Structure 1
Amino acid sequence: MSGSSTPVAYGGFDGGFIDTLIGLPTDHRQLYETMRRQMLRDAGSQEMTMPAEYMFHDVPLRDGDPDADPVAVTLAEMDRFGVEVGLIGLGAAPEAAARALTDHPDRFVGCLTLDPNRGMEGIRELVAAHERWGLRAVAVFPHGVSPQVPLDAPLMYPIYAKCVELGLPIFLTVGIAGPRVPSTKVQKVELLDQVMYDFPELVVVMRHGAEPWVEMAVKLMIKWPNLHYSTSAFAPRYYPQEIVDYANSRGADRILYAGYFPMGLTLERIFTEMPDVGFTDDVWPNFLRGNAARILGLDG
């Protein structure tokens, strides 16, 4: 594990981790500009670096060096904590993301976030991005687009179908996420029951906690073999106990590590708290690497 002073072994596994939600410390206001302009109504949200800043003690984006090379900053943090590969979005800071994917293809892989409201224009963008970058995933933030689009809405189905055709997993934000916009009508976990039925080949990864419907998330993972859960935007001390118990019993191949650097969490905080998560030894290799490697097609 390069760059780390004191490696911590997780069930004998101490490096080569895959982070399925990592970013570059650039100006992310543009990423959230549509939400800020069209959706956020409270004065506090207008002043935040990112719309869920109130949920985090220290937001790395807010305190970062604006003159630092964002790609170098993220790489240094990855090296420090044993993260070998990071899944980054192409929507935020597209120039920096493009440079990361071009200059460091062994360290970064791309994920395209789509707005279902764009219809076939978005599908064409997906195809073009996949041809250019060899995408490893697609993402949709149902309550973060305007108008909002439920997980099981007809507007989502062309994206799901194209993901199946291209062999790409889709990361979906579920549950009550942080930005102060309504979530309950569009991000209810139960809506995935119909989606998984209609698209049995679709690989879905739930993002951002699934709260307060974590029990439902576990029930649906037991039912649907292509449904997974990532720990994005949660410090390890707050991983839901239902998820830890599921991973330790029958769900070791369904739970993926995801951080939230630099949007809300530092890797230092994440990996300081990580050893206290109650995963059994056999869960750690899959959680920190194996499941993401399989889903993102990085096994080779």
Structure 2
Amino acid sequence: MAMPTDIKIIDCMLGIPEAEDRSDWFAAFRPLIRDEQTLKQFSMPAQYMFKDIPQAGGVDDFVKWTVEQMDRFNVERALVGWNASATSYRAKEKHGNRFFFDLPCDPNKGMEEVRRIKRIHAEVGLSAISIFPAGTFPQIPINHKYMFPLYACAEELGLPVLLNVGIPGPRIPMEAQKVEHLDEICWFFPNLKIVMRHGAEPWEALAVKLMLKWPNLYYSTSAFAPKHYPKAIIDFANTRGAEKIIYAGYFPMGLSLERIFGDMVNVPFKDEVWPKFLRENAINVFNLK
């Protein structure tokens, strides 16, 4: 049951810093934040939940630095958010074999956003789109009508949708991310692959029930140190859900790779689960073949 050391890992949530200042992480939902501690003291929106947040002080080339960190921990490829910056283009041009991209999307923008998805997919070759329902402004629930054009676009393009689910880390309301909202979307879009992000807590048992029910619903472990993976998720991976649980980290947004892989050795996955969790499920869901 020990974590194997010979698997080339695919990380389905990793970031490439744009600068040492990370205030841009707040930009989309800053109007929702009301508490002074978050606004005046935090360097990342959910800082109260994390300790020893990785820093990249004195780095001249953040792309090179990120690849070096990946190499240290046998991470062959990583899914990162595309933001059309110089950093994104450099990552694709210099290390296109190491990175694949999701596009963070805003359902409030309607068909303008649909056109943007299609344009960037044609240019870059996206592997997914991503939506932070509680972090949109105004907030848009998972099953709200404004979401449907994005879901339809993703299905048309053959792209999975990454959705934050469960209570959000930042101090903003949770209603938009209730796991129960997924049931309607999976029913209406049976061919759309949906990957849950950020835990689904405190509804992780419901997340398991929905994955049993819907063939194209998956779960990634993003933003959780392995010691905090929900027991319901580990049990599901070890029984009927080995093809449904995908490794995703949170480096450097909140967790170091040292912390992630230092904890990972103690996760009680069965031997046959590890290759699927660390690599094979990502290849299947994100069409990396």
Counterpart of 1:32 in structure 2 is 26
Pairing 1:233-244 to 2, within 5 Å after superposition: 233-244=223-234
Counterpart of 2:62 in structure 1 is 70
* Between 67-76 and 282-291, the greater mean CA deviation after superposition: 67-76
Pairing 1:105-124 to 2, within 5 Å after superposition: 105-124=96-115
Counterpart of 1:212 in structure 2 is 202
Aligned-pair distance for 1:49? 1.3
Pairing 1:172-183 to 2, within 5 Å after superposition: 172-183=163-174
CA contact (8 A) 2:246 2:278 kept: yes
Deviations 1:184-241 (A, max 9, x none): x210001000000000000000000000000000000000000000000000000000
Counterpart of 1:279 in structure 2 is 269
- With over 3 angstroms needed to count, the CA separation of the structure-2 counterparts of 1:57 and 1:31, relative to structure 1, is closer
| Cα separation, 2, equivalents of 1:215 and 1:150 | 20
TM-score by length of structure 1 reads 0.93
Please tell me the root mean square deviation across aligned C-alpha atoms, in Å: 1.4
- Structure 1 position 54 matched with structure 2 position 45: no
Aligned-pair distance for 1:256? 0.2
Q: Secondary structure at the match of 1:31?
A: helix
| Cα separation, 2, equivalents of 1:40 and 1:129 | 30
Counterpart of 2:162 in structure 1 is 171
Q: Secondary structure at the match of 1:131?
A: helix
- Within the candidate set 115, 122, 138, 1:131 is matched to 122
Gaps of 5+ in 1: 1-7
- Structure 1 position 200 matched with structure 2 position 187: no
CA contact (8 A) 1:26 1:66 kept: no
- Within the candidate set 45, 55, 63, 2:38 is matched to 45
| Cα separation, 2, equivalents of 1:32 and 1:24 | 16
Aligned-pair distance for 1:25? 2.5
Aligned-pair distance for 1:9? 6.8
Q: Identical aligned pairs, as a percentage?
A: 50
| Cα separation, 1, equivalents of 2:82 and 2:25 | 10
Deviations 1:108-166 (A, max 9, x none): 01110000000011111101110111000100000001100000000000100011100
Q: Secondary structure at the match of 2:29?
A: helix
Q: Secondary structure at the match of 2:112?
A: helix
Counterpart of 2:221 in structure 1 is 231
CA contact (8 A) 1:13 1:285 kept: no
Gaps of 5+ in 2: none
| Cα separation, 2, equivalents of 1:120 and 1:54 | 36
TM-score by length of structure 2 reads 0.96
Aligned-pair distance for 1:14? 2.0
Whichever residue aligns with residue 43 of structure 2, its letter is T
